[in-house]
C-alpha cells in the first residue's frame, strides 16, 4: 500500500489507474477551451507521448493540452508515488534478507557452541585419561 504525497489516502499500487492510455485527445479540437495549433513535427517524442496520454489521479484528470504545467505536476506526483512504492519494496527486501542472515548466523552460532561444548567434554576426558596413564607409568 502506497501513501500519496499528503498521506491521507491509501493507494493499492501507484500504477493503478494513474496512467490512462486509452484517453486520447484530439489536437484539432478546442477541448477545455484550448485552441492551440501544435506543430507535431517540432515536438519531441516525449511531448508527443504527453499529448496522447492523460493522467488521472485523486486530484483530477490532466492533459498536456489542457494545462501543461498542471500535467507536469501530476506526472511528477505519479513518478514520486511510484518511486516511493519501489523504495518501500527495496527496503522490505533488504530487511527480509537481513532477517534471513540473522537466522542463519544464529543457527551457525548454536552449532559452534554445541561443537565447543563437545570438544571441551572430550578434552576433559582425554586429560583425565592422560593423568591415569601418567600414574600407571610412574608406578612401573
In a domain, 135, yes or no: no
Task: Say which DSSP state 10 is in.
Answer: E
Q: Say what the pLDDT of residue 103 is.
A: 98
Query: What's the rounded Cα separation, in Å, for the pair 35 and 56?
Result: 22
Q: Which carries the bigger pLDDT value, residue 52 or residue 79?
A: 79
Tally of domains in the chain: 1
In a domain, 125, yes or no: no
In a domain, 89, yes or no: yes
Task: Please choose, from the candidates 82, 34, 78, the residue with its C-alpha nearest in 3D space to the C-alpha of residue 53.
Answer: 78
Mean pLDDT across the stretch 32-50?
A: 64
In a domain, 28, yes or no: yes
- For the cut 50, the answer to whether the pLDDT of residue 20 exceeds it is no
In a domain, 127, yes or no: no
Share of the chain above pLDDT 70, in %: 70
Q: Tell me the residue range of the domain where 54 lies.
A: 2-104
Kindly report whether the global pTM for this prediction surpasses the value 0.75.
no
Amino acid at each position: 500500500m502506497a501513501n500519496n504525497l499528503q498521506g491521507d489516502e491509501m493507494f493499492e499500487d501507484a500504477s493503478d489507474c494513474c496512467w490512462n492510455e486509452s484517453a486520447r485527445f484530439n489536437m484539432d479540437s478546442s477541448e477545455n477551451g484550448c485552441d492551440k495549433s501544435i506543430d507535431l513535427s517540432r515536438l519531441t517524442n516525449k511531448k508527443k507521448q504527453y499529448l496522447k496520454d492523460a493522467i488521472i489521479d485523486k486530484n483530477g484528470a490532466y492533459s498536456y493540452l489542457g494545462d501543461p504545467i498542471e500535467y507536469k505536476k501530476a506526472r511528477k506526483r505519479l513518478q514520486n508515488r511510484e518511486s516511493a512504492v519501489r523504495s518501500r519494496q527495496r527496503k522490505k527486501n533488504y530487511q527480509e534478507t537481513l532477517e534471513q542472515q540473522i537466522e542463519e548466523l544464529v543457527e551457525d552460532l548454536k552449532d559452534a557452541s554445541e561443537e565447543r561444548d563437545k570438544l571441551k567434554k572430550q578434552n576433559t576426558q582425554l586429560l583425565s585419561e592422560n593423568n591415569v596413564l601418567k600414574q600407571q607409568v610412574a608406578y612401573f
